[in-house]
């Protein structure tokens, strides 16, 4: 799925847009026991409740593609004959009315999911979307639909105790402390099946949501989809950093790292400005070219590319947003931490003066210390 397709489905999570008839689910306690089941008609709910439920499903489609939203791919064999794909297909085709399939799904989740001693709510909804025709001019013609996209969406939300508050009691004309009931938090996990690729159903793919980019719950993905998930965004960043430093060794200088960060940052900015809905990626070979232009020896570039192949897979394309923080440029020593606007990272220099290593930053004007304007005297050398 690309960003435009994702946004098209996200917009359906509104009372006047979706064809969701019922909300199904179950409430699970910290002992992994199903406490109660949910089977509610959306159409007869109070407006506030309806908006809250749809808001939770919309949240399960939020974040960045490749970061919070992970594309999972089923093998052909799984699609043809596998228990996990058959279950998801049964849930979708029955519009979640198959109670046996729902219970089987709940049990899979409950047995596998680790939620750190938290109670949680599993929510399921089914939507049928008459996909409007999009012309060559990118204009949508709502009355020219020729595709029906049937899909299910799941949101798994922690349930936490509310905090004690001070409230007004009108009968007593006084304020007293009171404890709110348990609160359903935004989803920790979720997914949509099948994926919405080229504005049609792709039964070979599912889109999985993880609020925490460092913890994508591999145990849940293995149980429900029985397929290997890619590295989390945080794992990708740490792996890239490790491969870069280990491969380049003494060649991993400030200038080289700054060049890698800046050129990848520029690609991210250009992609953002172009408004291209397709996800941005960068190949290992392209990173190798940046290293080559920065004067890194060929043998170290080759080592870098080989190690990337081992860690990320042969011929893998990397998500630039997962391997650098484009909004931050940070220099750290044991005693000092310096934050630099990434756009001006080129102003920073490293030099050896009288045998000591220094990080130098121009300070001709506008220097502040604890928000106080300061002047650097000419005799301070």
- Take residue 217 and report the two structure tokens written for it: 């719950």
Residue with tokens 């994508």: 216
In the prediction, which pLDDT does 228 show?
A: 83
In the prediction, which pLDDT does 104 show?
A: 97
Q: pLDDT confidence of 292, banded at 50, 70, 90?
A: very high
Mapping DSSP to helix (H, G, I), strand (E, B) and coil, where does residue 279 land? Answer: coil
Supply the angle between the helices 298-312 and 233-248 in degrees, to the nearest 10.
150
Residue range 254-260: mean pLDDT, rounded: 94
Q: Say whether pLDDT at 170 is over 80.
A: no
Check residues 178 and 215 and name the one with the higher pLDDT: 215
Q: Say whether pLDDT at 181 is over 90.
A: no
Q: Say whether pLDDT at 260 is over 90.
A: yes
In the prediction, which pLDDT does 229 show?
A: 81
Q: Let me know: does 14 contact 56? Beta carbons within 8 Å.
A: no
Residues 6 or more apart whose CB falls under 8 angstroms from that of 359 comprise 254, 331, 333, 338, 348, 349, 350
Q: Say whether pLDDT at 370 is over 80.
A: yes
Picking from 120, 232, 124, the residue whose alpha carbon sits closest to that of residue 186 is 120
**CA–CA dist 280, 195 (Å, integer):** 19
Preceding peptide of 194 cis, ω within 30°: yes
Each residue of 182-239: pLDDT tens digit? 889 999 999 999 999 999 999 999 999 999 988 889 999 999 999 988 888 999 999 9
In the prediction, which pLDDT does 376 show?
A: 83
Bridge partners of 123, per DSSP, are: 25, 155
Going from the C-alpha of 55 to that of each of 58, 99, 123, 182, the distances in angstroms are 5, 25, 12, 18
Going from the C-alpha of 151 to that of each of 40, 211, 301, 351, the distances in angstroms are 18, 21, 45, 59
Residues 6 or more apart whose CB falls under 8 angstroms from that of 288 comprise 301, 304, 305
b/e for 133-149, b at 16 or more Cβ within 10 A? eeeeeeeeeeeeeeeeb
**CA–CA dist 201, 336 (Å, integer):** 52
**CA–CA dist 195, 133 (Å, integer):** 18
Residue with tokens 């200038």: 255
b/e for 341-353, b at 16 or more Cβ within 10 A? ebeebeebeeeee
Check residues 167 and 60 and name the one with the higher pLDDT: 60
Q: Let me know: does 61 contact 153? Beta carbons within 8 Å.
A: yes
Q: pLDDT confidence of 179, banded at 50, 70, 90?
A: low
Residue range 251-270: mean pLDDT, rounded: 94
Domain boundaries, the chain: 3-230, 234-324, 330-373
Lowest mean pLDDT among 137-141, 306-310, 342-346, 373-377: 137-141
Q: pLDDT confidence of 68, banded at 50, 70, 90?
A: very high
Q: How many CB atoms lie within 10 A of CB 178?
A: 11
Q: Say whether pLDDT at 137 is over 80.
A: no
C-alpha torsion angle, residues 23, 29, 32, 34 (rounded to 10)? -40
**CA–CA dist 262, 365 (Å, integer):** 24
Mean pLDDT of the chain: 90
Residue with tokens 């080592």: 303
Q: Say whether pLDDT at 313 is over 60.
A: yes
Q: Say whether pLDDT at 135 is over 70.
A: no
């Amino acid at each position: 799925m690309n960003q435009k397709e994702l946004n098209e489905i996200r917009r359906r999570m509104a009372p006047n847009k979706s064809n969701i008839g019922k909300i199904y689910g179950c409430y699970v306690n910290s002992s992994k026991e199903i406490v109660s089941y949910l089977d509610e008609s959306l159409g007869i709910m109070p407006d506030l409740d309806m908006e809250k439920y749809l808001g939770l499903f919309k949240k399960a489609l939020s974040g960045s593609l490749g970061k919070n939203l992970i594309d999972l791919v089923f093998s052909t064999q799984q699609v043809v004959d596998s228990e996990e794909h058959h279950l998801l297909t049964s849930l979708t085709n029955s519009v979640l009315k198959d109670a046996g399939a729902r219970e089987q799904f709940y049990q899979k989740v409950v047995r596998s999911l680790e939620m750190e001693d938290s109670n949680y709510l599993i929510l399921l909804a089914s939507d049928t979307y008459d996909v409007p025709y999009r012309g060559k001019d990118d204009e949508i013609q709502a009355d020219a639909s020729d595709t029906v996209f049937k899909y299910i969406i799941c949101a798994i939300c922690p349930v936490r105790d509310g905090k004690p508050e001070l409230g007004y009691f009108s009968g007593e004309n006084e304020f007293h402390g009171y404890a709110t009931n348990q609160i359903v938090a935004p989803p920790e996990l979720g997914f949509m099946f099948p994926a919405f690729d080229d504005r049609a159903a792709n039964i070979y793919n599912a889109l999985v949501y993880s609020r925490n980019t460092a913890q994508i719950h591999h145990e849940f993905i293995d149980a429900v989809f029985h397929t290997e998930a890619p590295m989390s965004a945080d794992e990708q960043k740490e792996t890239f950093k490790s491969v870069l430093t280990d491969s380049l060794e003494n060649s991993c200088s400030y200038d080289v790292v700054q060049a890698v960060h800046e050129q990848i940052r520029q690609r991210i900015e250009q992609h953002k400005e172009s408004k291209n809905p397709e996800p941005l990626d960068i190949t290992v070979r392209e990173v190798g070219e940046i290293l080559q232009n920065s004067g890194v020896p060929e043998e170290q570039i080759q080592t870098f590319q080989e190690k990337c192949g081992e860690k990320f897979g042969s011929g893998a394309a990397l998500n630039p947003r997962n391997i650098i923080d484009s909004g931050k440029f940070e220099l750290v020593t044991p005693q000092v931490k310096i934050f630099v606007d990434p756009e001006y990272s080129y102003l920073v220099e490293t030099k050896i003066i009288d045998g000591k290593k220094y990080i130098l930053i121009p300070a001709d004007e506008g220097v502040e210390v604890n928000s106080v304007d300061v002047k650097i005297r000419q005799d301070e050398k």
